[in-house]
């Protein structure tokens, strides 16, 4: 990845539901963001958490090995995009949440209202992450 700017715009395409624009911020988690950017474009079968309310959309088994960074957090807000080192997964939060495992915040959905697209997503829906043009 040759672009070293702090803000990287990506598209999150929830197949058959729509596309959401988001921004990764390198300063939030430089290692996680860099490793994931090198994997793009990625297509992964997404799913909601199985237990409790649907607080996040999970993209499991990304295939990177980055541990928690110094800014890892237990608190997330609606629209946050985080990397979970414990499960090697990207989480997109559709609700505010308090976590039991520290996660690396990487970015944010640009327009919170776009999270409504997840209301039509079903577990197993392919989700593509790619750089925005």
How do residues 4-56 score in pLDDT, each as one tens digit?
589 999 999 999 999 999 999 999 999 999 999 999 999 999 999 766 678 99
Best CA proximity match to 96, nearest among 65, 133, 54: 54
Tell me which H or E stretch contains 93: strand 89-93
Three-state SS at 88: coil
Question: C-alpha dihedral over 3, 58, 13, 107, to 10 degrees?
Answer: -40
Closest by CA to 93, choosing from 29, 22, 33, is: 22
Fold exhibited by the domain 7-131: Cyclophilin (2.40.100)
For 53-87, what is each residue's pLDDT tens digit?
A: 789 999 999 999 888 888 999 999 999 999 999 99
């Amino acid at each position: 990845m040759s672009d070293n700017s702090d803000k990287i715009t990506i598209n999150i395409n929830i197949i058959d539901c729509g596309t959401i624009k988001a921004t990764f911020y390198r300063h939030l988690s430089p290692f996680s963001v860099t490793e994931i950017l090198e994997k793009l474009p990625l297509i992964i079968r997404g799913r909601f958490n199985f237990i409790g309310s649907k607080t996040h959309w999970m993209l499991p088994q990304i295939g990177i090995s980055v541990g928690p960074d110094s800014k890892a957090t237990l608190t997330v807000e609606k629209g946050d995009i985080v990397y979970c080192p414990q499960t090697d997964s990207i989480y997109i939060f559709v609700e505010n949440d308090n976590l039991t495992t520290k996660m690396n915040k990487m970015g944010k959905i640009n327009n919170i209202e776009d999270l409504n697209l997840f209301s039509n997503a079903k577990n197993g829906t392919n989700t593509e992450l790619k750089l925005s043009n």
